[in-house]
Amino acid sequence: MTSTTLPTSAPNISGRAWVLAVLTLTYTFNHVDRQILVILLEPIKAEFGLSDGQVGWLTGLSFAAFYATLGIPVAMWADRGNRRNIISLALALWSAMTALSGLAQNFWHLLLARMGVGVGEAGGTPPATSMIADLYPPQERAMALGIYTSGIGLGIMAGFALGGYIYELYGWRAAFFAAGIPGLILALIVRFGIKEPVRGLADQRRDDGPAPSLGETLRFIFSQSSYLWLLAGCLLICISANAFLVFTSSHLQRTYSLTPGEVSLPLGILIGGVGSLGAVVLGRVCDVLSKRDLRWRPLIIAIGAGIALPFAWMFLRAPTVETAYAWNIVPSFIGLIYASVAYTASQELVKLRMRSFASAFMLFCLTLIGIGCGPLIAGMLSDHFSAQGAAQPLARSLEMILAFNAASIVCLLMATRNYRRDVARAAG
């Protein structure tokens, strides 16, 4: 593998803000298409006669298994090929499958459509985070990836608001059509409106040699202890975060006798709007603190997890829906920082030609176990408590899920031990 050193002055990368904006909008569509189902779960559950366990399959493992598994070969492709074209193709596929979800006639039809969404979305994040890392140097990367991660919140906000509004007017099927079709237009903008960046440009180094083999990449990743501890901590948070994301709307509707339309806008603003703001602000804070000590990357997630925990508990115990919304402000603001820092770390703890794969491996674990199992565990626990005659089985289930947040703090603190050493090793 050959490597050349670029000039030491900061590169002038023109057009990078436009590329970041388009990639963030793509990630927003990713989560609109994913979360439109969440706000519509109660009417779909009623029409198809589903249990909370089946809801967990629809929103979790059926999507996550394909999303996570296919992310690995797509990332290997992205480390060798044109990342922009991969993203455009993936966006077109998941948008089409979202629109097809509106044609589902039973649980199995919807399950297959959500699997198709997972197949498409596997090609989104790994190449996008790799492109962003080539456009923004390390001292700006957490904020740039925080802006990209804000697409999660923006997608949740748009998906919730769009889904609730269209449901009230035309029913849940029309909401899937409205969410999926615009993504086909955006796929054309991605393909013809942005350029593929030079690999390593923002790091002022270039790697023109062949990408390392899968074995070499895996050996390097598993030798980076801080990457593995950070992954474990983010994984535990992801299980909890996705259980809450899927079932918060259902919890509010059941507890306070509300409709999807009544909770969609407040939840969209809280989880989406406040969450997006937090991703950008805390990403910037992380960049500032990390200039002094890179260990702030995992440490800021650990602090956030500790702060959010009691607020999330009180949210589940709130006597009124207004109080519940108030308690949810802090967890919403902190809720996305783990994802943006995880993406940042996956880019700076590995070598240049390993970046897409490292991001995909992180995403594989977070998706398959976090997104896949979080809603499924919560749904099965809810069914268990319901069978026992519990008054609020879903709330009890979510209370137990908070234990994953507490356990994550230990792993994240362990990640701080060798973080600086591992970043230097990756850059060597």
* Mean pLDDT, rounded, for 93-117: 86
**Which positions ≥6 away from 87 have C-beta within 8 Å?**
23, 26, 123, 124, 127, 128, 190
What is the pLDDT at residue 48?
Answer: 87
Residue among 416, 378, 285 nearest 54 (CA): 378
Range with the largest mean pLDDT of 47-56, 171-180, 301-310, 349-358: 301-310
What is the pLDDT at residue 12?
Answer: 58
- Domain for residue 76, yes or no? yes
Is the confidence at residue 283, as pLDDT, over 90?
no
Give the CATH number for residue 174: 1.20.1250.20
pLDDT in tens, 368-402: 788 778 888 998 999 999 999 888 999 999 999 99
- Domain for residue 48, yes or no? yes
What count of other Cβ atoms lies within 10 Å of the Cβ of residue 49? 9
Rounded (to 5) percent helix, strand, coil in the chain = 80, 0, 20
* Mean pLDDT, rounded, for 109-124: 80
Q: Kindly report the pTM of this predicted structure.
A: 0.70
What is the pLDDT at residue 2?
Answer: 37
pLDDT in tens, 355-366: 767 777 887 788
% of the chain at pLDDT higher than 90? 29
Q: Measured between alpha carbons, how far is 428 from 3 in angstroms, rounded to an integer? A: 11
Q: Which domain holds residue 348?
A: 15-195+217-427
Number of domains in the chain: 1
Q: 114-146: buried (b, 16+ CB within 10 Å) or exposed (e) per residue?
A: bbbbbbbbbbbbbbbbbbbbbbbbbebbbbbbb
pLDDT in tens, 228-241: 999 999 999 999 98
Is the confidence at residue 34, as pLDDT, over 80?
no
Confidence of residue 117 (pLDDT cuts 50, 70, 90): confident
Is the confidence at residue 412, as pLDDT, over 50?
yes
Is the confidence at residue 294, as pLDDT, over 80?
yes
Window from 9-13, 66-70, 81-85, 293-297 with minimum mean pLDDT: 9-13
Is the confidence at residue 290, as pLDDT, over 50?
yes
Q: Which helix (H) or strand (E) holds 162?
A: helix 138-170
- Domain for residue 325, yes or no? yes
% of the chain at pLDDT higher than 70? 92
- Domain for residue 353, yes or no? yes
Q: Measured between alpha carbons, how far is 389 from 385 in angstroms, rounded to an integer? A: 6
- Domain for residue 211, yes or no? no
Residue of 194 and 206 predicted with greater confidence: 194
What is the pLDDT at residue 8?
Answer: 41
Burial class (CB in 10 A: 0-12, 13-18, 19+), 71: buried
- Domain for residue 3, yes or no? no
For the chain, the average pLDDT equals: 84
Q: 148-169: buried (b, 16+ CB within 10 Å) or exposed (e) per residue?
A: bbbbbbbbbbbbbbbbbbbbee
For residue 5, report the phi and psi dihedrals to the nearest 5 degrees. Answer: -95, 130
Residue of 199 and 215 predicted with greater confidence: 215
SS3 per-residue string spanning 300-312: HHHHHHHHHHHHH
- Domain for residue 6, yes or no? no
Is the confidence at residue 46, as pLDDT, over 90?
no
The runs of H, that is alpha helices, within 224-336 are: 225-256, 260-267, 275-292, 296-317, 321-327, 329-334
Q: 20-35: buried (b, 16+ CB within 10 Å) or exposed (e) per residue?
A: bebbbbbbbbbbbbbb
Confidence of residue 122 (pLDDT cuts 50, 70, 90): confident
Window from 84-88, 186-190, 212-216 with minimum mean pLDDT: 212-216
- Domain for residue 147, yes or no? yes
What is the pLDDT at residue 354?
Answer: 78
